[in-house]
Amino acid sequence: MPIEIRELVIRARVEEPAAQQSGPAGSAAGAGNAPPQQDIQQIVAICTEEVMKLLKKQNDR
């Protein structure tokens, strides 16, 4: 009997490496290097689009 997945939940957690977070200037320097929110949204959109393409390709088989 085939199994049908009706909902797919993907979660990711991205953190700075421990070496960059430690030290007195680590937190201040790391905050200035964060990518803009727009860049993050664009990356997520591209990844989502690729996942949807792969899922569609699998369903077409």
Q: What are phi and psi of 33, to 5 degrees?
A: -95, 5
The pLDDT of 42-56, averaged and rounded, is: 90
Rounded CA-CA distance 48/41 in Å is 10
Residue extents of the structural domains in the chain: 35-61
List, in order, residues 6 or more apart from 30 with CB less than 8 Å away.
Answer: 16, 20, 21
Least confident of 2-6, 15-19, 24-28, 55-59: 24-28
Per-residue pLDDT tens digits for 16-46: 777 665 555 544 445 567 778 888 889 899 9
pLDDT at 1 over 80: no
pLDDT at 55 over 80: yes
